[in-house]
DNA sequence: CGGGATCCAAGCAGATACTG
DNA sequence: CAGTATCTGCTTGGATCCCG
């Protein structure tokens, strides 16, 4: 989507496809972005190290997500032309400022995980 | 995945599939949740009103997302058995506390949209 | 080591038709 | 009005192979 529909959607009010929040959410909502930003919060890391930190991610998704983050200026990519190539990834300044809102979300998650789980169980039991 | 791998993943450190943040992100990252929560921040609304506020959403996705949010205890659903049925949706207490972290994310988006766009253009131009 | 390219399966989401 | 049900296309993402 966001192809032919995009044009017609652009008319609208808030909560629209062109809304900045929407743009960012499309990025951070992709399941891996937050994990990668989190993994890089401790400091820079190379490709294989990231792959180990973000357990469960495939090589394809790691590459793809990193490209997107690099494109958005959230992550920097540095190639060291050594014998076996070494590539370092790190948060940019913008990336570091993103940690705060993400942490807020994480704290909410931790604080409400119990409530959410309980609510889910209650919902599934009846109905 | 998360099937056979899940067991082996459970050993791990942070950034795992069972991590609370991950659970929440799977929910808010689904493209519509944040928009709906935002639309309900102004107060309760009925189905058709929500559909108008969150422009571009299909009836199916609105229903589906609302069910998920109701299950998570973030949104409440009240059926008024009147002549034409009237269904009111509103944020629960938990839902209201979620507005804050989401707003933080939104503010970051607005603050950095320019940087991100510029970075994207620069990235696309070269390379 | 750090990917790029390709193939393919599963799930997500839109359009449409029907219901209490 | 507020959905449910179904059919179907398209995207997402894993697996695999290959390259500098």
Q: What is the pLDDT of residues B31-85, one digit of tens each?
A: 889 889 999 998 999 999 999 999 889 999 999 999 999 999 999 999 999 989 9
Distance measured from the CA of protein residue B29 to the C1' of nucleotide D6, in angstroms: 27
Question: Using one digit for the tens of pLDDT, what is the confidence trace for A24-38?
Answer: 777 887 888 988 999
Q: What is the band of A2 on the pLDDT scale with cuts at 50, 70, 90?
A: very low
Q: Identify the three-state secondary structure at position A46.
A: strand
> Which of B110, B67, B105, B56 is CA-nearest to residue A2?
B56
**Residue A56 backbone phi and psi in degrees, to 5:** 100, -15
Q: Give the closest-approach CA distance of B45 to chain A in angstroms.
A: 15
Q: Identify the three-state secondary structure at position B96.
A: helix
CA of B27: which chain A residue's CA is closest? Answer: A29
CB atoms within 10 A of CB A76: 17
> Which of A75, A79, A101 is CA-nearest to residue A88?
A79
Instruction: Name the closest residue (CA) to the C1' of nucleotide C5.
Output: A60
**CA-only gyration radius of chain B, Å:** 19
Distance of alpha carbon A65 from alpha carbon A51, whole angstroms = 12
| pLDDT confidence of residue B14 | 47
Q: Is the dihedral of CA A32, A51, A108, B20 positive or negative?
A: positive
Average pLDDT over residues A6-32: 61
A81 vs A28 pLDDT, higher one: A81
pTM (predicted TM-score): 0.84
| pLDDT confidence of residue A5 | 35
Both tokens of A43, joined, read 């400091």
Q: Which residues touch strand D (CB under 7 A)?
A: A 1, 3, 30-31, 57-61, 84-85; B 1, 46-49, 59-60, 63, 66-67, 77, 84-87
Instruction: Give the residues across from B44 on adjacent strands.
Output: none
B11 vs A37 pLDDT, higher one: A37
Is the pLDDT at B2 greater than 80, yes or no?
no
Q: Please list every residue in chain A whose beta carbon sits closer than 8 Å to the beta carbon of residue B124.
A: 71
| pLDDT confidence of residue A70 | 97
């Amino acid at each position: 989507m966001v192809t032919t529909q995009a044009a017609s959607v652009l008319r609208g009010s808030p909560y629209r496809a062109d809304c900045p929040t929407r743009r960012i959410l499309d990025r951070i909502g992709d399941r891996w972005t937050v994990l990668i930003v989190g993994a890089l919060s401790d400091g820079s890391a190379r490709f294989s190290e990231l792959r180990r930190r973000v357990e469960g991610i495939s090589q394809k998704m790691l590459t793809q997500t990193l490209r997107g983050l690099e494109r958005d200026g959230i992550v920097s990519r540095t190639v060291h032309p050594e014998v076996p190539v070494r590539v370092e990834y790190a948060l940019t300044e913008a990336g570091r400022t993103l940690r705060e809102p993400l942490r807020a979300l994480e704290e909410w998650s931790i604080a409400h995980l119990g409530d959410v789980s309980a609510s889910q169980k209650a919902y599934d039991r009846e109905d």
